[in-house]
Amino acid sequence: MQAIIHYSLHFVFPALIACVFFKDDRKKVYVIFLLTMLIDLDHLLATPVFDPQRCSIGFHYLHSYPAIAVYVLMLFFKKTRIIATGLLLHVFTDVIDCVWTFSVCRDCLENSAIFRLFK
């Protein structure tokens, strides 16, 4: 169920956002939203590349707190607003995934970058 929600938030939710808020350019905006998923390329630099119990927020370079701050700043510039929206939708989806993982794996929470940030 977690994977279905995760990928729905990565693919269906951005489509809804594009259709509701960008009616005239919905196809172009949706493609941009899909392209923002390229931030997951930073997973290729991790060992192991995929760990289902690892929270990507604060762990991978393009999911780091400084990177997220840059995505928020990008919202203030018209030329980068749609890209920033896509990136932040991606990060939001990953945060939800982390919370879900933490709800069933206490060790995952205690070993996460998010836990160390708030500790």
CA atoms within 13 A on the CB side of 87: 21
Q: CA dist 56 to 12, 44, 78, 102, Å?
A: 21, 12, 28, 12
What is the model's pLDDT at position 5? 92
- pLDDT tens track of the chain, all 119 residues? 888 999 999 999 999 999 999 999 999 999 999 999 999 999 999 998 988 889 999 999 999 999 999 999 999 999 999 999 999 999 999 999 999 999 988 888 888 887 877 76
Q: What is the pTM of this model?
A: 0.91
What is the model's pLDDT at position 8? 92
| Cα distance between residue 114 and residue 111, in whole Å | 9
Domain boundaries, the chain: 2-118
What is the model's pLDDT at position 93? 95
- ∠ CA 48-96-56, nearest 5°, is 25
